[in-house]
Amino acid sequence: MSGTLRIHWVIVPRTQPRPLINCNRCGTVKAYRCSEKFRVNANGKRIDVWLIYRCIECDNSWNFGILERCNRRDIEPALLQAFESNDPTLARRHAFDIVALRNRAGRVEEFSDVAVHKHRVGDKSESVAALEITLALEMPTSLRLDRLLANEFGISRSRLQAPEERRLLIVDQDGAKALRRPARQGMTIRVDVTGEPDLETIISAAGG
């Protein structure tokens, strides 16, 4: 019996965004990398917290503001401890906050390299007619959906676009536009694989 194979993809960006800062040592705009270190300053009951960035050329520092003049009693003790201990998960979360970075720095360099962790949801039918892939993003990514799918299926983007034109590939009911946009949380992609000559290869690549 043919059926739909449901697969869950977790997208994990590899490279953190880099704000582009006018470095006063280099004398020009340079990319700054996240040091994954926080600076916590206490002035009486007021707390300031920054995430420290370093120029990729000269190691000059730039502070990305997280908390400003915040009353100590308004900060959860566990959160304050995480800042003070340079918790790597917390640092990564703030380093991928692209909206806050743009608000502070203006220009930000983004990267599209990701790791994709896949697992099948439910049992696999004897004959698969369609794939239904749901995306979960650990952090936002600038990787376009068409590039993600082409990379993971091991096919060209031009070949990927062909089934989309025949409505064999549907993305959240709006495949034509969604393919050209970054992959996003909760997105569902349905691929009709009937008649594909390399069906098993595609299913295997998808995580089935």
pLDDT in tens, 120-140: 987 766 778 888 999 999 998
Tokens of 14: 């590899």
Q: What is the pLDDT of residue 208?
A: 73
Q: What is the pLDDT of residue 55?
A: 98
For 104-114, b where at least 16 C-beta lie within 10 A, e where not — what string?
ebeebebebeb
As averages over each run of 10 residues, the pLDDT of the chain (208 residues) reads 84 95 96 97 93 98 96 94 97 94 94 93 77 92 90 81 61 70 90 75 82
Residue 41 class from Cβ within 10 Å (0-12 exposed, 13-18 middle, 19+ buried)? Answer: exposed
Kindly report, residue by residue over 35-57, the tens digit of the pLDDT: 999 999 998 889 999 999 999 99
Give 107's contacts (C-beta < 8 A, 6+ positions apart): 19, 20, 29
Give the residue from 123, 80, 108, 112 showing the smallest Cα distance to 183: 112
Q: What is the pLDDT of residue 173?
A: 55
Q: What is the pLDDT of residue 1?
A: 44
Tell me how far CA of residue 77 lies from CA of 20, 39, 54, 83, in angstroms. 33, 16, 28, 10
Tokens of 111: 């990267």
Q: What is the pLDDT of residue 174?
A: 61
Give 25's contacts (C-beta < 8 A, 6+ positions apart): 55, 58, 60
